[in-house]
Amino acid sequence: MKPTFHHRLVNNPFEDPCVHVRVLREKRAFLFDLGCISRLDPGDIQKITDVFVTHTHIDHFIGFDILLRSLLRREIPLRVFGPANIIGCIEGKLKGYTWNLISEYPLKIEAFGIEENIVRHSGFYAGNCFRRIDLGERPFDGIVLKETPFEIRAACLMHQIPCLGFSLNEEFHINVDKAVLVEMGLPVGPWLSEFKKVIRVGGSSDTEFIVKNRRYTLGELTPIANITKGQKMSYVADSSMNEENIRKVIELAKDSDTLYCEAYFLEEDRERAIERHHLTAKTAGRIAREAGVKSLVVMHFSPKYRECPDAPEKEAMMEYNKRE
């Protein structure tokens, strides 16, 4: 199955957490958390359209400045989603610089602050010297962004402060069955992208396609489309180890192909983990197992384990692989 998106950690697990998602076949990328992003290529940074920030502790948000500087001359807006205080934090960052020479610059930042039941929207536009404009609010039902073929959901978690966990879901995945294509005498080509697009938006079966100078309806072409479950990736950073949080994370990550989860402390430092509002590696393993995820990637390790860098992953995997 050709994936629709690729995801990877930008840094090593002792550095700032940040996952880069490249949407294949589209010049577009997402970031989950905005720690230090200096390892990303300038070309990759230019493609970032949406950023999902779990909370604004410095290790999750320090990359904002690099992103801002790189995108100042970009026409495509940047959307930043985060907990309720993200709007104030962006405003504070922007107020930290002087913006008298950018009125010709195109960049528009759309910021969305998410609470239990509400999403607040503010805009910061270069043409307006990045002064905050409040643009209203909408009810929040768990869906942060829905844009065919994706849906991004968030769970409101606690980390002493409000913190979000995210999941990126592809509604369904369409593979072209090459054997059927050959059987029908149809060529591969750009028309297939259009064909997939029409299926994704639920186009009518009468929709017509011209292939090799012949007219086909969507209905006639349906046999070449093999529709399967879409990709799912979840991202959970700093979270308190209470059962309510853990339950919400399991629900969010349910059946993910990949879960990125923090494993800041080892179970032997459980007391410290509770005090500092972080998960242990063992808890990350339990979450992944109970959520039935296919692959667990642990990240965000405390520097105290630099001497035993494999220990957090080993502990998480041992718990994850336990069968009840």
Query: Please, are residues 234 and 256 in contact by the beta-carbon 8 Å criterion?
Result: yes
- Asked if 50 interacts with Zn ion (CB under 5 A), we say no
Given strand 78-83, what is the order of strands in its sheet? 5-9, 19-23, 28-32, 48-52, 78-83, 108-114, 118-125, 132-139
With CB under 5 A as the contact rule, which of the stretches 53-61, 221-229, 239-247, 316-324 interacts with Zn ion?
Answer: 53-61
- Asked if 33 interacts with Zn ion (CB under 5 A), we say no
- Asked if 57 interacts with Zn ion (CB under 5 A), we say yes
Choosing from 33, 238, 269, 313, the residue that interacts with Zn ion (CB under 5 A) is 238
- Asked if 315 interacts with Zn ion (CB under 5 A), we say no
Give the C-alpha distances (Å, rounded to integers) separating 255 from 80, 249, 295. Answer: 26, 12, 10
With CB under 5 A as the contact rule, which of the stretches 50-58, 101-109, 266-274, 310-318 interacts with Zn ion?
Answer: 50-58
- Asked if 272 interacts with Zn ion (CB under 5 A), we say no
- Asked if 59 interacts with Zn ion (CB under 5 A), we say yes
DSSP class of 280: B
- Asked if 276 interacts with Zn ion (CB under 5 A), we say no
Q: Which residue has the tokens 């960049």?
A: 107
Least distance (Å) between residue 163 CB and Zn ion: 7
Q: Which residue has the tokens 């059962």?
A: 243
- Asked if 93 interacts with Zn ion (CB under 5 A), we say no
- Asked if 269 interacts with Zn ion (CB under 5 A), we say no
Chain-centre distance of CA 64, in angstroms?
16
With CB under 5 A as the contact rule, which of the stretches 33-41, 58-66, 149-157, 176-184 interacts with Zn ion?
Answer: 58-66
Rg for the chain, CA atoms, rounded: 22
Identity of the residue, 53 or 174, whose beta carbon is nearer to Zn ion in the bound complex: 53
CA contacts within 13 A on the Cβ side of 297: 21
Cβ count near 192 (within 10 Å): 19
In the complex, the residues that contact Zn ion under the rule CB under 5 A are 57, 59, 238
